[in-house]
Amino acid sequence: MLMTRAPSSLQPALILVDGSSYLYRAFHAMPSLTNSKGMHTGAIYGVINMLRRLQSEYQPNYIAVVFDAKGKTFRDAIFPAYKAHRPPMPPELAQQIPAIHAIIRALGLPLLMEEGVEADDVIGTLARAAESAGIDTLISTGDKDLAQLVSDHTTLVNTMHDTLLTPESVKEKFGVTPAQIIDYLTLVGDSVDNIPGVPGVGPKTAVKWLNEFNSLDDIIKNIDKIKGKVAENLRAHIDTLPLAKQLTTIKVDVALPIDYLQLKNTPPDIAQLQTLYHEYEFKNWLHALLSEAPKIQENKHEKYQTIFTETDLKNWLTRLKNAKTFAFDTETTSLNYMQAELVGMSFCDKPGEAIYIPLTHHDITAPKQLKREWCLQQLRELLENNTPQKIGHHIKYDMEILARYGITLRGIASDTLLESALLDSASNNHDMDSLALKHLNWRTIAFSDVAGKGAKQITFDYVSIEKAAIYAAEDADVTLQLHQLFTPRLTKEVGIQKVLTEIELPLIPVLARMERTGVLIDATMLQKQTKIL
């Protein structure tokens, strides 16, 4: 019976991936994905996703991904019309191949391309070598031609449909044994590869003949027993069958510079993967990669400071007043700016150096916090003056929070949420976590990391100061770094810069006042406009 799911007991020592088959399958199966630069990425995502799943499911001792090399093969030499009917590779697929190869290598997977032969021949040679040593091999492909390699030690898996081909299921699917597949394909031919078969001989006829006579040679020997028009076609094309069979037969004796015992999966190049995932904007993969390697980011927080004393606050206040620009953020008990209570504030005037001022945390294990009223009085002049310039991420919220404590925020230089939205209007992800991951290769500490999730989530004032300080200081630090990254791009885009400085930023205090106090409506004028409209 044809197996519809790879059994958990299947543990191949060697996996050979038909990379060329993966390319087209991923290209046609995936939606038309592009990154922010307009480069197609659907095939990249599809191929790598299938490879990651394959590795995770089977965890083989040896593995290789095999692609067709550029240029002609021996089949083109013996039959110039081989694959002549195939259209050229779509340019949107061709542009993704270098990235696919680069990511595969960065994952530590052996990648093979052998000139003069096809990927099938390399796979066939490695599979037969492993089989002769009693090694179980799994070939991942969607190509029916590779069914000729199936044996007691070699199995095919189609990851797209999650089906396996064993000797028994090859017989069930095609009606012939793996040993008869070459003769079957020779008789039927292949219009896609432009391999001539016997006109009028389809799968049913080929299966009937092979089950009756066993092989192509025996069919020819018994040609007199075959009647009708199809027999005439067979007689007329006997001379072409040796060529068709040669084209159909996968070589299993290619002289390779490597053997299967050298196909070991090496440790991934984390730095290179970060660069590639960032470039092609595979957010989830990058997030997972950074999650698995937290030590890479530990030094990002080394120069963060928590302010507990008046002296430390005044020293930093002097430093901030002398800065040209700084980023800041408020931490509160709610997203509702009309009800939220201020819990703490963070500031950053230099990438990697930031502070958090805790004010109303319920943390009895921490040092005594500065009084909120006194602290805000010390910060009032800094926040209400037009200089230094302030940077925030969704700074309108911070303006509304400060207004609840009688402070009017002035000197807004920019807002990284608005900068991102203007530079990449097609994206819906302008939250800080997404932007840090996309632009800085930085997996930020999520709110749920410090406050929990769902019904068990606590408000920020109940988060320990130790956790809150790094979370909050990081927000200010990331905001400043995003602004420094976006600024050169905005400078080049004069039109976008104008929208930001002349429309969006001046609207922030206007919208903040409207949201806090409401708006007046001229009911009479509104009625007139209603009738006109």
The 8-class DSSP code of residue 13 comes to S
Lowest-confidence segment of 182-191, 288-297, 408-417, 450-459 by average pLDDT? 288-297
> Which range, of 14-23, 96-105, 258-267, 457-466, averages the lowest pLDDT?
258-267
pLDDT value at residue 8: 45
Backbone angles phi, psi at 22, to 5 degrees: -60, -40
**Residue 289 confidence class, pLDDT cut points 50, 70, 90:** confident
- pLDDT band at 38; cut points 50, 70, 90: confident
According to the model, what pLDDT value does residue 267 have? Answer: 87
pLDDT digits (tens, 9 = 90+) for 448-460: 999 999 999 999 9
Count CB atoms within 10 A of the CB of residue 371. Answer: 12
pLDDT for the residue numbered 9: 55
Name the 3-class secondary structure at 34.
strand
Say if residue 1's pLDDT is above 50: no
Q: Please state the length of the chain.
A: 533
For residue 300, what pLDDT is reported?
85
Residue 164 pairs with which residues in a beta bridge?
Answer: 157
Checking if the pLDDT of 59 tops 50, the result is yes
Closest CA to 24 of 143, 155, 109: 143
Q: How many other C-beta atoms are found inside a 10 Å radius of the C-beta of residue 5? A: 8
Ranking 1-5, 29-33, 57-61, 189-193 by mean pLDDT, the lowest is 1-5
pLDDT tens string 354-399: 999 999 999 998 999 999 999 999 999 999 999 999 999 999 999 9
Q: What is the mean pLDDT of residues 344-349?
A: 98
- Quote the pLDDT of residue 118: 94
Give the pLDDT confidence score for residue 190 in this predicted structure.
85
Return the structure tokens found at 21. Answer: 């088959």
Question: Residue 432 pLDDT more than 80?
Answer: yes
| CB-side neighbour CA atoms (13 Å) of 300 | 22
Confidence label for 288 from pLDDT (cuts 50, 70 and 90): confident
Q: How far apart are CA 193 and CA 185, in angstroms?
A: 11
Instruction: Determine the pLDDT at residue 214.
Output: 92
The pLDDT mean for the chain works out to 91
413-421 average pLDDT score: 97
Selection from 193, 210, 172 nearest residue 249 by Cα: 193
Q: What's residue 3's pLDDT?
A: 46
pLDDT-derived band of residue 4, with 50, 70 and 90 as boundaries? very low
Using 50, 70 and 90 to split pLDDT, how confident is the model at 81? confident
pLDDT for position 437: 85
Q: SS3 letters for 314-354?
A: HHHHHHHHCCCEEEEEEEECCCCCCCCCEEEEEEEEECCEE
- Residue 283 CA to residue 54 CA, distance in Å, equals 21
- Average pLDDT on 44-61 reads 91
The residue to which tokens 């608005």 are assigned: 418
Dihedral (Cα; 42, 45, 51, 56), 10-degree rounding: -140
DSSP per-residue codes, 344-399: EEEEEEETTEEEEEE-S---TTSPPPPPHHHHHHHHHHHHHSS-SEEEESSHHHHH
Question: In the chain, what are the helix, strand and coil shares in percent, each to the nearest 5?
Answer: 55, 10, 35
Residue 7: asked if its preceding bond is cis (omega within 30°), the reply is no
* Contact yes or no for 195/184 (Cβ under 8 A): no
Which of 477, 446, 447 has its CA nearest to residue 460? Answer: 447
Contact status, residue 391 vs residue 323, Cβ threshold 8 Å:
no
DSSP 59-82: --SEEEEE-PPSS-BHHHHH-TTT
H helices present in 136-269, as ranges: 167-174, 181-188, 203-213, 216-221, 229-236, 241-248
| pLDDT value of position 298 | 55
Name the pLDDT band for 297 (thresholds 50, 70, 90).
low
Strand partners, 412: 390
Q: How far apart are the first and last CA of the chain?
A: 69
User: Do residues 340 and 332 touch, judged by C-beta distance below 8 A?
Assistant: yes
The two most distant CA atoms of the chain are separated, in Å, by 107
Residue 160 has pLDDT above 80, yes or no: no
**pTM for this one?**
0.66
pLDDT of residue 293: 56
pLDDT of residue 36: 83
Check pLDDT > 60 for residue 521.
yes
- What is the C-alpha to C-alpha distance for residues 432 and 397, in angstroms, rounded to an integer? 14
pLDDT for position 441: 81
Q: Give the β-pairing of 137-140 and 154-158.
A: parallel
Q: pLDDT tens, 472-498? A: 999 999 999 999 999 999 999 999 999
> Which amino acid makes up residue 346?
S
